[in-house]
Structure 1
Amino acid sequence: MPSDHKDEGFAGTLRNLHLTDIIQMCCLSVTTLGIRVMKDEKEGEIIIRDGDIVHSQVGNITGEEAFYTIMCWKSGNFESIDVDPSSPKTIQRHYQFLIMEAARRMDEKDESREVGTREEKLRVMIVDDSSVMSRILTATFTAEGDIDVVGVARNGEEALEMIDAVKPDLITLDMNMPVMDGKSALKHIMIKTPCPVVIMSNVGSATQNTVMKFLELGAVDFMSKPVKNESILIQQEMIVKRLHRAAKGRINLFRRTQPPPVVPQDKKKAIGNVGFDSLVVVNAGAGAHSYVIHLLADICKEIDSGLIALQTLPPQLVHSLPDYYNQRCSYQVESVEERTKLVSNTCFLMSNGVPVNVETGAEGYFLLPGKSMNSITSNNDQFLTDLAEHYHGEIFMLLLSGAEIGQLEGLKRIRENSGTIIIQERDTCMIRDPLDIVSKEKMVDMEVKVNEMASLLKKMIQSSGD
């Protein structure tokens, strides 16, 4: 829009910024903005008016298809342009739908992120005693057309009677049900008809001990039930994506685990200081939740360093885990819920559902969490990029089964800054796809068994200090 104040505002350059992020910020802040996007010889525009995406054009293509075409460009340049109040409204859908659909199309185009394809829809069985919640879950799972709900059971007993008939690829299981609860049902499923199981429950009703017991018994992942709010479409996108990932779980590799022994108080290490030369970042996803505590306990025992654990678990659950982890780790364990100083001999727990920035100050390094969110893009890319830019010591990145790798930008920055990427031996992973992608991009320095990682780190840190 023409303005009499041509000299007001700022001009500059921002690198490694996703177009999705700019559009989301404009829509959330109810901004009016025109964006011209250039990719090689191609050029397009996206018009946002009062927080709504109203028009897009690339050549002779207009409307939604033009928007999706632009959003599928992997890189390019953009600039703001004036918005004509009389410009046509060629897009009617809500911006959240448009961004999610663009993300889906980008994933389809990106062959490097595809490890095989399914010719048939994913067959899912829902086990939940609430008929209302079962209908909500059915609508959520089937919205994108790539999942069939082949059975709905009201309790564990009904589920066990139904499994042989419906032959699901994946089961979603509530924890608290009458007749036969989720824990008893899970035990029977793992013995009678092993199948990937995802626990879906309200976090408020789930204590950390209960959730960890389900994961130790064989559940591949834990997810919160969807909540009706303004982000319901984004929740739907993320739930469907995680169900597809969990369904790839190789249940034959599951080994029932017991938690590490409790660490006596006199064996706990004193909290370290802000000046430390090495930082270990553990990234664990579906299929790794049951044994990540063993790895953290081993690391705390073997070395003195900074330690961050990223997990694909709901933020509310991660915030409750320190009580459970503190009993079994010789480090102090904290969840990052506010501006937190990064010190050695302390394990900081973080959820992939919360964006976290890194800040450097006179007193050291600080972790700054944002609001909990269900983003369609991984928060790991932004966090790891920030970490690589601010932390000046040696970074050791450990990737376990089902790790959230985003678009690989964060991992690339870690490598560029001389960081080391170590992945779990893929033949031992319940869900190996993300690690296959990292390996295919030739970003892996070492591939080892999980129970060998702590001793390997100890040797590497000692040799770098000599």
Structure 2
Amino acid sequence: MTSMKKLLVVDDSAFMRKLITEFFKGNNEIEVVGTARNGLDAIDKVKRLQPDVVTMDVEMPEMNGVEALKKIMQDTPTPVVMLSSTTTSDATITVEAISNGAVDFVAKPSGTISLDLDKIKNQLVEKVVAATKVSVTNLKQISKPTIPVAKPDSPEPVKTVVQPKNESWQKFKKKIVVIGTSTGGPRALQEVLTTLPKNINAPIVIVQHMPAGFTNSLAKRLDQLSEITVKEAENGEILQPGVAYIAPGGNQMTVRKIGMTKTIYIDKTSPAVGGHKPAVDVLFNSVAEMTDLDRIAVIMTGMGADGAKGVRELKRTGNTRVISEDESTCVVYGMPKSVEKTGLVDRVEKLENISTAILGYLE
């Protein structure tokens, strides 16, 4: 029988601590071994109780969740799932937390003290269980370069897959970069986007699995750190080289052709696909219809298989190069693994080499 994983619940509200603890009663994988009322208390109890995973409220007195997280990741690295309200300030702090080593987050349905927290019970339990299986070494904070520059050529890709013989790759043809990622994605995107040069000659369109209210904060943070422009995508805008467009959380995003231009289409009414909204497959399938573009598709860390069907469609309909993140740097080796299983991946690269691989296909 597999031993139970230990969970520490951190929240300044006694009601919330009790409710979250109740969520795991009867769970055959997770055992709550303690609770903490603020960040300082959390740091002490992580050292004493040595939990396998922590749930951490964002806003707390004495020391907030982000400051506690930084200290925990520095002294006793442990997977942490943040709990956040969807206010603008909390969204900004949550994105900062993820950039500092949090595995994932769950948005509280109705503010700091959510009496209806049971609405996200299944989601929280799923993410806590998943967090016990992540690579703690890959949760370390990524450095934040003041002036990002492209990395030097990497010696060799980790793996290379030979292209189909009938596919050509022409330097003069217009290109688009499409990226899909999930758990661990914000830090992976930070590593990749901050090392792309301002004059990159292609637009970059991104699906990061996130709920509504958080992708704008993510885009703003990445924009501050990058030479390229990073923004939350808006309906109807024309794709421009040197700009990265992040799909707004809670919406499906596609690319459409209008005349000779390519534009963003944001669909608020379409349902989730594979449980995701936005979904990587939805974006990739729309780009597959752009037969006048060569495509560079990148799949990075994340749970599940979103992106695998889209990669098949991209390869079927036109010139496409596929890069997947190597297992050794993934926080969760789910999405890259599913794409590699298609046999259509051209390069499997460690995270720090992905930007170089992208630029190699654009030269």
TM-score normalized with structure 1 length: 0.62
Any residues of structure 2 matched to 1:263-342 within 5 Å, and which? 277-301=174-198, 303-342=200-239
How far does the alpha carbon of each residue in 1:225-245 deviate from its partner, in whole angstroms, 9 at most, with x for none?
24499x988744443333333
CA distance 1:205–1:344, shift in 2 (3 Å): closer
How far does the alpha carbon of each residue in 1:155-182 deviate from its partner, in whole angstroms, 9 at most, with x for none?
1233234335654321111122123322
**Structure 2 counterpart of 1:444, from 339, 345, 351:** 345
The 8 Å contact of residues 284 and 312 in structure 1, kept in 2 or not, is answered as yes
Cα shift at 1:317: 1.5
Which residue identity lines up with residue 401 of structure 1 in the other structure?
Answer: T
How far apart, CA to CA, are the structure 2 residues paired with 1:359 and 1:323?
A: 25
Q: Which residue number corresponds to residue 345 of structure 1?
A: 242
The 8 Å contact of residues 180 and 307 in structure 2, kept in 1 or not, is answered as no
1:129 aligns with 2:26: no
Larger Rg: 1
Q: Which residue number corresponds to residue 43 of structure 2?
A: 160
Cα shift at 1:353: 3.8
CA distance 1:419–1:235, shift in 2 (3 Å): farther
How far apart, CA to CA, are the structure 2 residues paired with 1:384 and 1:227?
A: 33
How far apart, CA to CA, are the structure 2 residues paired with 1:212 and 1:309?
A: 16
Cα shift at 1:122: 4.7
Q: Which residue number corresponds to residue 258 of structure 1?
A: 143
Cα shift at 1:251: 0.9
How far apart, CA to CA, are the structure 2 residues paired with 1:238 and 1:220?
A: 14
CA distance 1:439–1:149, shift in 2 (3 Å): same
Cα shift at 1:348: 0.3
The 8 Å contact of residues 360 and 390 in structure 1, kept in 2 or not, is answered as yes
Q: Which residue number corresponds to residue 165 of structure 2?
A: none
CA distance 1:361–1:288, shift in 2 (3 Å): closer
2:102 aligns to what SS in structure 1?
coil
Cα shift at 1:291: 4.2
The 8 Å contact of residues 354 and 371 in structure 1, kept in 2 or not, is answered as yes
Q: Which residue number corresponds to residue 420 of structure 1?
A: 321
1:377 aligns with 2:275: yes
Q: Which residue number corresponds to residue 398 of structure 1?
A: 298
How far apart, CA to CA, are the structure 1 residues paired with 2:357 and 2:308?
A: 24
The 8 Å contact of residues 179 and 207 in structure 2, kept in 1 or not, is answered as yes
How far apart, CA to CA, are the structure 1 residues paired with 2:274 and 2:293?
A: 31
Any residues of structure 2 matched to 1:71-86 within 5 Å, and which? none
CA distance 1:376–1:460, shift in 2 (3 Å): closer
CA distance 1:382–1:224, shift in 2 (3 Å): same
Q: Which residue number corresponds to residue 84 of structure 2?
A: 201
Cα shift at 1:404: 5.7
CA distance 1:339–1:150, shift in 2 (3 Å): farther
Q: Which residue number corresponds to residue 360 of structure 2?
A: 459
Which residue identity lines up with residue 60 of structure 2 in the other structure?
Answer: M
2:46 aligns to what SS in structure 1?
helix
How far does the alpha carbon of each residue in 1:407-456 deviate from its partner, in whole angstroms, 9 at most, with x for none?
73222212323422211222122222332233233232211122322222
1:245 aligns with 2:130: yes
CA distance 1:447–1:411, shift in 2 (3 Å): same
Which residue identity lines up with residue 263 of structure 2 in the other structure?
Answer: F
TM-score normalized with structure 2 length: 0.78
The 8 Å contact of residues 208 and 324 in structure 1, kept in 2 or not, is answered as no
How far apart, CA to CA, are the structure 1 residues paired with 2:88 and 2:358?
A: 37
How far apart, CA to CA, are the structure 1 residues paired with 2:200 and 2:321?
A: 16
1:327 aligns to what SS in structure 2?
helix
How far apart, CA to CA, are the structure 1 residues paired with 2:304 and 2:201?
A: 26
CA distance 1:420–1:242, shift in 2 (3 Å): farther
How far does the alpha carbon of each residue in 1:248-289 deviate from its partner, in whole angstroms, 9 at most, with x for none?
2211234333322157xxxxxxxxxxx971111222322342
Of 141-150 and 391-400, the range deviating more from structure 2: 141-150
Cα shift at 1:346: 1.5
Which residue identity lines up with residue 256 of structure 1 in the other structure?
Answer: Q
Cα shift at 1:302: 6.2
How far apart, CA to CA, are the structure 1 residues paired with 2:209 and 2:25?
A: 22
Which residue identity lines up with residue 248 of structure 1 in the other structure?
Answer: K
1:223 aligns to what SS in structure 2?
strand
How far does the alpha carbon of each residue in 1:37-89 deviate from its partner, in whole angstroms, 9 at most, with x for none?
xxxxxxxxxxxxxxxxxxxxxxxxxxxxxxxxxxxxxxxxxxxxxxxxxxxxx
2:361 aligns to what SS in structure 1?
helix
Cα shift at 1:305: 0.2
Which residue identity lines up with residue 213 of structure 2 in the other structure?
Answer: Q
How far apart, CA to CA, are the structure 2 residues paired with 1:376 and 1:436?
A: 17
How far apart, CA to CA, are the structure 2 residues paired with 1:176 and 1:395?
A: 42
Higher relative contact order (CA 8 A, sep 6+): 2
Identical aligned residues as a percent:
23
Cα shift at 1:376: 5.8
Q: Which residue number corresponds to residue 265 of structure 2?
A: 368
Of 356-365 and 168-177, the range deviating more from structure 2: 356-365
The 8 Å contact of residues 29 and 129 in structure 2, kept in 1 or not, is answered as no
1:342 aligns to what SS in structure 2?
coil
Cα shift at 1:337: 4.1
Q: Which residue number corresponds to residue 288 of structure 2?
A: 388
Any residues of structure 2 matched to 1:97-246 within 5 Å, and which? 119-120=2-3, 122-140=5-23, 147-163=30-46, 166-204=49-87, 206=89, 210-227=93-110, 235-246=120-131
